[in-house]
Structure formats: structure tokens, C-alpha cells
Amino acid sequence: MSINRENALAQPVGTTLERYIMRNQAEFAFATGELSQLLRDIALAGKIVNREVNRAGLTSIIGAMGQQNVQGETQQKLDVEANIRFIRALTNGGEACAVLSEEEDDMIHTGNCQGKYVVAIDPLDGSSNIDVNISIGTIFSIYRRVTPVGQEATREDFLQGGRQQVAAGYILYGSSTMLVYTTGHGVVGFTYENSLGEFFLSHPNITIPATGNVFSCNEGYWFDYPQYVRDFLMQCKEKTMSGRYVGSLVADYHRNLFTGGIYLYPPTRKTPQGKLRLLYEGYPLAFLIEQAGGEAMTGEEKVLDIVPTEYHQRAPLYIGSPELVNSLLACAGKAQAAPVLEAPGVRDGR
């Protein structure tokens, strides 16, 4: 057997997540190993959730639990499963002193008072799509605690603001499972190889295109949207852009990150402050998109500049390619500059 043939039969499988983290640990704000361990803990829980998602149709784990979470949303069985898996992994890993989850009213103290980090997480975004086999995901955000090590974490550890994140990312459970994250030095993506049980580096430097041909929003709320959003969407349609809306935030975001586009979740009459949660949806995805060269705005300010006041705070979200987000902001600026005209007959009730 020739050397060339031997080489062809034993091609490198690639760089594992573990090896990549070790090689790039110097990029972390505090290169002492704890943050590296946190990312490994999140990846481990992601592998377990991936297993449960892949066999959901063969077990009794699909469907609703028959109860609501703190958000007033119906909990799916896999919501509860994912919540348990991530909290358990972060607790057993020892580096997180507290976890804030979409599925819990208050923070969860892990008992690791020596831990230097806190984690905010949406364990299973888009879980209502589980029963129809549509891509779903996990979103996470990591902060270095501000309270003294050795004490229990407090609200201040989670309400630092989006600019204080040291790492953030998401796991997409789709046709393949991907872990995408940033530590403030660009964005990297890893694809899960089921037979080996490892995440391998597949996208070493992810950047979002400056513009795109996709807009993602629920047009069923058209008449509830602010006028500037409808103006922007009309511009998109006049340009024959494609409307693509999965209904799983991670899935829509992931597509637009790679192909270019904009995701919109404006305020509505039912949710005037927006619907998406800031700490474990808005902040982490905004941090990641800025690292990839994109923009994340509320319509008035950058998402990462919002000052948080509560755990489950909500905000509007316009996120994606910078040219598209800026076009939307231009529509918002025109709407604010336009004079307000009183409709005939409004004052006298006609």
C-alpha cells in the first residue's frame, strides 16, 4: 500500500471543541480554566438534549406538561427535561455559582459559592415546534460574577448589562447539531459528530453578510406592528426579498447569520415592551451578532446598551445584517420626524 493511499484512508477528523478551547484559552478574559470548563459543561448538556430531541418521537417526551412557566407560556415536556439537564451540568461542573433560566421564577443557586461565573440560559427555545420536528435550540450567556467569591450570588451578578458578557452562544438542534459561540474574539461554530460524540470545529470564523435577501417575522401581527416596521417590510417586499419565518428564534437567527438577513420581533399591543427576554435571548444573540459584524437594535438603542432592571425583562429585537438593520432604523427615524396628524372626527368622537 502506498503512502498516498494510507494518507487518504486516515484523513484528520478535525479539531474538537475541547482541543480548540485549550488552544485558544489565552483569548478568554480570565485564562484560568474556569470559563473553559463552563463551555464544556454547556456542550455536555447540549449533547444530552440532542439525544432526547432526536428520539422524541419514539418516546413519551413530546407534548405539553399541562402547566405554565414564569413567562405564562405552556411548558413542553422537553422544556422541563432541558432545564434539568443544563442546571445539573452547570451545578456538577462547579464553575457556575448561580443559573438564571427561562423556566424558573428566580435564580438557582448551585451551591458552588467558590464559582466565579453566572449563566443565564433559555434551555430550549422554540419548544412548541418539537411535535412537528422543526429545528429548536438553546441560548446561553455567561458573566463573571461581581459579588465576592465565597458568597451566594445576588441579583447584581445577573443585572450587569449585555456589555459585561464574557461569552455567549447557542446550540441548534436541526438537520445537524451545531454549537456557535463567542468569547469576544469573533464567532466560531462546531458541528456535532454523533458516532464519535464530539463537537468538531466546522466554521472557524463566522461573519454575517453585510446585507441579505431574507426578512424573518410573524406577519400575522402585521396590524399590531408600529408603522415604521410595516414601512420597512413593504420596502422588503418591493425588493422581492424572501419572507422566511420558522418560529424558532435560534433557527431563524442561524439562517440569517450564515446567509444574510434580518429577524424582527417588534412590540405589539399585546406585548408593548416586546416579547423576547433580554438576559437569555436578546443579550447573548446581540453579543454574538456584533462579533460577527452584524447589528442588534430595539428600534431606539443597541440591545447591548439596555440597562437591565429585572430577570425576565423583555425588549423588541431587530437583528441581523447591518445594512438591513440600518434600513429599518431609517424608517423609524422618518416616522419620528413625521408630523402627527389628527384623524378627522377623533376629538368629537365621530
* pLDDT tens readout for residues 202-228: 999 999 999 999 999 999 999 999 999
Q: Kindly tell me if the per-residue pLDDT of 134 is higher than 70.
A: yes
Q: Kindly tell me if the per-residue pLDDT of 103 is higher than 60.
A: yes
Q: What is the pLDDT of residue 76?
A: 76
Separation CA 324–CA 98 (nearest Å): 37
Average pLDDT along the chain: 88
Reported as a pLDDT band with limits 50, 70 and 90, residue 127 is confident
Q: Kindly tell me if the per-residue pLDDT of 60 is higher than 60.
A: no
Is domain 214-336 given the CATH code 3.40.190.80 in the classification?
Answer: yes
CB–CB of 134/192 below 8 Å?
Answer: no
Q: C-alpha cell of 341?
A: 396628524
Q: What is the pLDDT of residue 334?
A: 80
Q: What is the pLDDT of residue 11?
A: 67
Lowest model confidence (mean pLDDT) among 2-11, 16-25, 105-114, 139-148:
2-11
285-307 residue pLDDT tens: 999 999 999 999 999 999 999 99
Instruction: Note the Cα 348 to chain centre separation in Å.
Output: 48
Q: What is the pLDDT of residue 94?
A: 94
Average pLDDT over residues 157-165: 97
Query: Which residues touch 137 (CB under 8 Å, ≥6 apart)?
Result: 124, 125, 126, 170, 171, 172, 173, 248, 249, 250, 251, 254
Where, residue-wise, is CATH 3.30.540.10 in the chain?
Answer: 17-203
- The alpha carbon dihedral of 189, 315, 307, 159 has a sign of negative
CATH fold of the domain at 17-203: Fructose-1,6-Bisphosphatase; Chain A, domain 1 (3.30.540)
* 26 compared with 153, residue with greater pLDDT: 153
Reported in sequence order, the residue ranges of the chain that DSSP labels E, i.e. its strands, are 64-68, 74-76, 96-101, 108-109, 117-125, 136-144, 165-173, 177-182, 187-193, 198-203, 214-216, 242-243, 262-265, 276-277, 295-297, 314-315, 317-320
Q: C-alpha cell of 123?
A: 434551555
As annotated, the binding site for Mg(2+) includes 102, 122, 124-125, 281
Q: C-alpha cell of 298?
A: 430595539
As annotated, the binding site includes 102, 122, 124-128, 218, 245, 263-265, 275, 281
Q: What is the pLDDT of residue 339?
A: 54
As annotated, the binding site for substrate includes 125-128, 218, 245, 263-265, 275
Residue whose C-alpha is closest to residue 263's, from 326, 318, 327, 208 = 318
Q: What is the pLDDT of residue 292?
A: 98
Separation CA 74–CA 53 (nearest Å): 18
Q: What is the pLDDT of residue 62?
A: 53
Separation CA 140–CA 43 (nearest Å): 11
Q: What is the pLDDT of residue 17?
A: 93
Q: What is the pLDDT of residue 129?
A: 82
Separation CA 338–CA 141 (nearest Å): 39
Where, residue-wise, is CATH 3.40.190.80 in the chain?
Answer: 214-336
Residue spans of alpha helices (H) in the chain? 3-9, 17-23, 34-54, 77-93, 155-158, 227-238, 249-259, 283-291, 322-337
